[in-house]
Structure 1
Amino acid sequence: MTPNTVTTTQDALRDLYADWSAIMAENPQMSMRLFRAVFDEWHQPTVEPEDVTYREDTVGGVPGIWCLPAGGDASQVLLYTHGGGFSVGSASSHRKLAAHVAKALGVVSFVLDYRRAPEHPHPAQVEDGVAVFDALLESGIKPENITTIGDSAGGNLAIAIALALKEQGKPAPGQVIAFSPWVDMENKGETLHTNAATDALITPELLEGMIAGVLGGAVDPKTPLANPLYADFSGFPRLYLTAGSVEALVDNAQRLEGLARRAGVDVTLNVAEGQQHVFPFLAGRSEVADQELFRIADWYRQGR
């Protein structure tokens, strides 16, 4: 166990998810405001990283939070898109996780407060990510020194932003990292059912509501920038994927790996045994999460 790891006899992330599931079951008519307030608790399982400062800023017209580890290389930036079904989650709920990753990699991170659904359906979220990428380039950051990274729906966006940049003929990020990416907008994943008893949060019904919010009934669920399972991955940057073996979305990462590999992409997938959705949220509390960040840091440095 790493020196700063907090020991616990419970899986704090699983327990948080179980609590949220109970709240949602008891309040089926919960307002979006309260729904978002509940999911802003997502930071709770993550230990506050040491020697990191935070700064609110607006980049490319998009508000967010800079995570600035002491000694982090400011010329290398993680463009972090948070999870939450495109409708909940925030820069605040994810700043500690983004800071842990930045610290492990020796870089800085900018966590976007991108426009959320249902007020802003697809492709607003992708457009915001591209706007931040463009602004980072204008500020002097080299494209190969930008990593798009995200979790769950934000993992979808980390991939979709890179795809959108290619579609627009712009430079690509140097690499892409996605934690438990949720990309299947058709809701057809096999592990939605085979892992239904072990995933403490994700259900097909929860995803259906989020799909309706972001696609708004007007966007085809096979649209590649909404559902990267239908995208052309030729020429895509190096890609690192994680997932937990007991989560309902593990097959999203597995299908992405296969699609990318067939297109010739340098892709790495790590499925962590017994772990829940976006298990790196346990950074600082779990040896499994901490070791995953070390593994990503090694992968990142090997590609430099």
Structure 2
Amino acid sequence: MGISPQSDFLRALYQSWSDRMAANPGLTIADLRSLFDEWHQPTLEPEGVTYKSARLSGIDAIWTLPEGANTEQVILYTHGGGFAVGSTDSHRKLVGHLAKQLGVTAVVIDYRRAPEHPFPAQIEDSTAVYKELLARGFKPADIITSGDSAGGNLAISTVLKLRQDGVALPAAVIAFSPWLDMEHVGKTLQTNAATDALVSKAVLEGMSGMFLGEKGSRTDPLANPLKADFRGFPRLYINAGAVETLLDNAQDLARIAKAAGVDVTLSVVDGMQHVFPFLAGRAPEADDELRRIAQWFKRS
């Protein structure tokens, strides 16, 4: 079965970014942030969801509040963008769709970004917000960490850091197209290079350089969770598009976590690009995936 015509919207957007970046190699980080804030465009506005700006532990955030949601359950969402771009604005609608499908609330955070704030600033922020949620009365069993791409890395590494610090862990983790490999050794970086409209090895090398800075290590498990010990990790849902270069990050994570005894679900969808749930409300592939995640969540 072929992909839907609607799903090409995301590929076309990614190709336009790639073309613009290639034509303007001198783009500043401010320029790139403006470019990537177009990431919201494939996502249609979810019906019956309101939003509220907030600050948690001194960090700007947006609450997504679906009508009728269980207000005792919350998704802590970390946006993608190579740790350097992306924002609450680019991801608000996507998280609205996710929260609505799961029947819970969510909070998207504007964690500090590289290169101004290299690793581990991002994890410091996400763990601080998690602890703030606990202080506000949320139970660990009612919290989910989630994110996409670099934010998918953070959704995982946040839990690893909480475990390291002896903090009670969330109930589950949901990662969309997680970018985990800071060594850039995955085979699909080459085999899917012609089909991924956005993510290339060169892009990842630039982003990881900004993220790690002068002191970060490419093999630190909190920067590269493929090097982590996943024993005792919460149940985990991972998805990826079959044509993206980061496909084997998702596959390797699933294999490593399963070997450590984690309850893992991996969903790879044919023909889909990086973080294809951005097509929520527009393309059936994204809506179907969110429904699968909701079924997975509700069987807990």
Q: Residue 144 of structure 2 aligns with which residue? A: 147
Which ranges of structure 2 fall in alignment gaps of 5 or more residues? none
The answer for the alignment partner of 1:38 in structure 2 is: 35
Counterpart-to-counterpart distance in 2, 1:208 and 1:27: 18
CA distance in 2 between counterparts of 1:166 and 1:44 reads: 36
Structure 1 pair 300/58, CA: closer, same or farther in 2 (3 Å)? same
Q: Work out whether residues 156 and 181 of structure 1, in 8 Å CA contact, stay in contact via their aligned partners in 2.
A: yes
- For 2:184, give the aligned amino acid: N
Q: Alignment partner for residue 170 of structure 2, among 165, 169, 173?
A: 173
Deviation at 1:295, TM superposition (A): 0.4
Match of 2:131 among 115, 129, 134: 134
Report Cα offsets for 1:16-50 as digits up to 9, x if no partner. Answer: 00000000001111011111000000000001001
- What SS does the corresponding residue of 1:11 show, helix, strand or coil? helix
The answer to whether structure 1 residue 216 and structure 2 residue 213 are counterparts is yes
Q: Which runs of 5+ in 1 are unaligned?
A: 1-6
**Who is 2:153 aligned against?**
156
Task: Tell me: CA distance 1:136–1:10, structure 2 relative to 1, closer, same or farther (3 Å).
Answer: closer
**Distance of 2:276 and 2:263 partners within structure 1:** 23
SS in structure 2 of the partner of residue 268 of structure 1? strand
Q: Which residue of 2 aligns with 1:86?
A: 83
Q: Partner residue of 1:17?
A: 14
Matching residue's letter, 2:255: G
Structure-2 residue corresponding to 1:101: 98
SS at match of 1:65: strand
Give the number of aligned pairs. Answer: 297
SS of the residue corresponding to residue 295 of structure 1 reads: helix
Aligned-pair CA distance for 1:73: 1.0
Q: Which residue of 1 aligns with 2:48?
A: 51
State the AA in 2 paired with 1:289.
A
Are 1:83 and 1:89, in contact at CA under 8 Å, matched by a contact in 2? Answer: yes
Rounded Cα–Cα distance in structure 1 between residues aligned with 2:162 and 2:7: 42
How far residue 74 of structure 1 moved from its aligned partner, in angstroms, is: 1.1
Distance apart, 1:217 and its partner CA: 2.9
The TM-score normalised by the length of structure 1 is 0.97
* Structure 1 stretches of 4+ moved >2 Å: 7-10
User: Is the contact between residue 61 and residue 131 of structure 1 (CA under 8 Å) also seen in structure 2?
Assistant: no
Deviations 1:256-279 (A, max 9, x none): 000000000000000000100000
Q: Give 1:3's aligned residue.
A: none
- In the TM superposition, residue 104 of structure 1 has moved relative to its aligned partner by 0.2
Q: Residue 4 of structure 1 aligns with which residue?
A: none
Percent identity of equivalent pairs: 59
- Give 1:61 shift: 1.7
Q: Distance in 2 between matches of 1:10 and 1:282?
A: 7
Distance (whole Å) between structure 2 residues aligned to residue 10 and residue 152 of structure 1: 18
Name the structure 1 match of 2:190. 193
Using a 3 Å threshold, how does the CA distance of structure 1 residues 37 and 137 change in structure 2: closer, same or farther?
same
Aligned-residue Cα RMSD (Å) equals 0.9
| Cα distance in structure 1, aligned partners of 2:158 and 2:71 | 21
Distance 1:226 1:9, change over 3 A: closer
